[in-house]
Chains A and B, each alone.
Chain A
Amino acid sequence: MQESFNEIDNLFKGNIESFEMTPSEKVWDSLDNTLEKRANSKYKVIVFRLRAALVTLLLLFGTFVVYHFSVTNIESKEVTTDKPEILSSGNTDQMVSITAIENKSKSNNEKSFNQKEKRNSSIMNTSSFNTLLNKHSEATLKKTKISFPNYNENTATINPKGSSFTNLIESKEREFIDSKVIPDSMLENSNLNQPIASSIQKGDLPDSIISPESTDITPKGKLIKRFSFIAYFSPDLTKKYLVDDNTDNQSQSEYDGQESSDFSFNTGFLFGYDVTPKWSIKSGITYAYLMQSIKPKTVYVKTGNNGQQYYQFNTSYGSAQIPSDASTTQLSDSLRIKTSSTQLLQLVSVPLIAKYQIQRNKFSFYGQFGIAVNVLVGEKLLVETPNRTESITNIEGLREFNFGGIVGLGVSYNPIKKLSIMVEPTFRGSLTPINQNTSVKSYPYSLGLAIGLGWHL
């Protein structure tokens, strides 16, 4: 009997094994088309990434331009001339030359006045020059910031003892790095375009002129806070936009009916930089936790390339393989999952956000928008099979990273000078699908109410 069976095996194997059939040409045509489409889609992905990179670059460039423009505006209100000017002598018996140079090293060297001192500075300034003239034939005021708060812009004249300053004072703030006070006799013999090597020391100036404090002062006298750190937490209502590419029977409506969002949140640390009093940029690192529940469903058996069989659990994000329990039960073609399953995704993002704010006393109202690179750091599907609960940590089809957009409004309250409390209704959405090579492309989005604390340096 066994010999007879072996003969049958050999008869079939011997004849069929070496036999080659020619498939119809449509097989290769179809393959060729599919490969061509995939190649095109890869090309599209590359083009998209280039576009995303371009948008990011434009955003960064725009931010730089806004920053540069704002800094230029502030500085243009300060004295910019760096050439010595001969001031009209009027009735005085002395000529005064002052070189006013814009402050190029603010942070290190600025000396300022309080408002009261500023008010007096115009008077003291002229009188102090006279005093100094008595003490020094020529002098230099080094890195000393002097304000003229009560001067009109483009004011032409100060008349201490009949002398005048013309076309010199163009703003309410001035810094005189070199102030050269030259007697007539010396002036006659000297070239004013050459520096005169002598200086006025700090101790030579009246105390009321030099303030020991160092502070940034805007033209309005308002302090600018440059950097801030923000921590926030946002419970999110998460949904997803599905696009069905019609290559499979699993349609968008099927997933819509099966899946519903569950508890999700977003949290993170950001640092902010005030580019101008109204514009600022924020970036940092954030973490998103997305969870959805999936209604009971039937899953079907598949065979992997290694010959191992498993049940394929498809979701709108991707598909998971439920291992078959073939050692204890017979593998059937389908498996009924009788309870709801849970799927969760964890994403770490690096956002770049532009923020425009309007200050009202202790409150700031703002709008913000930006982009983010989202990196998938965790994925899990919890399924209850008849025998046990499966925790599957590999979901096929999910992309390692995708791009997202952020739009939001917010209000912040400053209970103390450096601390702010923020409330921000924020929309976050995917600009690119979170998955690939799946029948349905998923674009998750969420609406959250972020509560945050900011600390201004």
Chain B
Amino acid sequence: MSKKENIHLENSETELVRGCINNDRHLQSMLYKKYAGKMMTVCFRYSKNKEDAEDSLNEGFLKVFDNICSFKGEGSLEGWVRKIMVNTALEKLRRKSNLYKIVSIEDLKAEQLSHEDLESNLNAKELILLVQKLPPMYQIVFNLYAFEGLKHKEISAKLGISEGTSKSNLSDARTWLKKAYEKLSREQKILTA
């Protein structure tokens, strides 16, 4: 990206923030459109279904608009919005974690992963839905470690668990994902063959 483009982006980001602080609906809509796709994926990773993900997205953007005056421009706006989305979705998942049925790998079937919205990107579709099928605590730890880049110390502080528990959960999550991925890959090959 050229220097000129960078300056333009920075300016437009500043304008977006200013507009949102002034409750300019048009600029609020622009900010939403700019980040809704990426943030939906973030929320989807921390949710068990699309409805929950959309709830988190809605709640997260409300927090963004409510607190945007506290954005000091020290990091990227996207990073700041993403942090809010992660926290919002995380909170929702933790609150509802006991409501979700834990799926065993044996119960996983390739057909379960079909989703009309994701047909254009099969790899991403399969993988993201697999993350969703993880038991809640595994899902949280795996997301925080693999996607948010947090260390075990940070994860343990954030979740109020020991570092050992965090490591153990991550290891279990990876094992679960690996087995599930291999199983579904095999089944898909059979289905396509």
Q: Decide whether A and B are members of one complex.
A: yes
Binding site for B on A (CB under 8 A): 4-5, 8-9, 11-13, 15-17, 19-24, 26-28, 30-32, 34-36, 39, 300-305, 307, 309, 324, 326, 329-333
B178 in the interface (beta carbon within 8 A): yes
Interface positions, chain B 32-50, Cβ under 8 Å from A, are: 32, 36-38, 40-41, 44-45
B161 in the interface (beta carbon within 8 A): yes
> Do A31 and B61 have beta carbons less than 8 Å apart?
yes
Binding site for A on B (CB under 8 A): 23, 25, 28-29, 32, 36-38, 40-41, 44-45, 53-54, 57-58, 61-63, 65, 67, 70, 83-84, 86-88, 90-91, 94-95, 97, 117-118, 121, 123-124, 127-128, 130-131, 145-147, 157-162, 171, 174, 177-178, 181
Complexed CA–CA distance, A34 and B66 (Å): 12
Complexed CA–CA distance, A21 and B53 (Å): 11
Contacts of A39 in B (CB 8 A): 23
> Do B58 and A32 have beta carbons less than 8 Å apart?
no
Identify the closest chain A residue to B94 (Cβ): A333
Complexed CA–CA distance, A304 and B83 (Å): 10
Contacts of B128 in A (CB 8 A): 16, 19
Given contacts A16-B127, A22-B40, A22-B117, contact A8 B174 (CB under 8 A): yes
Residue in A12, A22, A331, A332 whose beta carbon sits within 8 Å of that of B127 in the complex? A12
Identify the closest chain A residue to B87 (Cβ): A303
Given contacts A21-B40, A28-B32, A307-B83, contact A9 B174 (CB under 8 A): yes
Which residue, A21, A303, A324, A329, has most C-beta atoms of chain B within 10 A? A21
Contacts of A16 in B (CB 8 A): 41, 45, 124, 127-128, 131, 147
Say whether chain B's binding surface is mostly helix, strand, loop, or mixed.
helix
Contacts of A31 in B (CB 8 A): 32, 58, 61-62
Given contacts A300-B95, A330-B161, contact A30 B58 (CB under 8 A): yes
> Do B94 and A301 have beta carbons less than 8 Å apart?
yes
Complexed CA–CA distance, A19 and B32 (Å): 17
> Do B87 and A307 have beta carbons less than 8 Å apart?
yes
Given contacts A9-B146, A21-B37, contact A307 B58 (CB under 8 A): no
Min distance, Cβ B141 to any Cβ of chain A, angstroms = 12
Identify the closest chain B residue to A301 (Cβ): B94
Contacts of A23 in B (CB 8 A): 36-37, 40, 53-54, 57
Contacts of A307 in B (CB 8 A): 83, 86-87, 158
Contacts of A19 in B (CB 8 A): 41, 121, 124, 128
Query: Could you list 23 examples of A-B contacts with CB < 8 Å?
Result: A5-B171, A8-B178, A13-B147, A15-B124, A15-B127, A16-B124, A16-B128, A19-B121, A21-B40, A21-B44, A23-B40, A28-B36, A35-B25, A300-B95, A302-B91, A303-B90, A303-B91, A309-B159, A309-B160, A329-B160, A331-B159, A331-B160, A333-B95
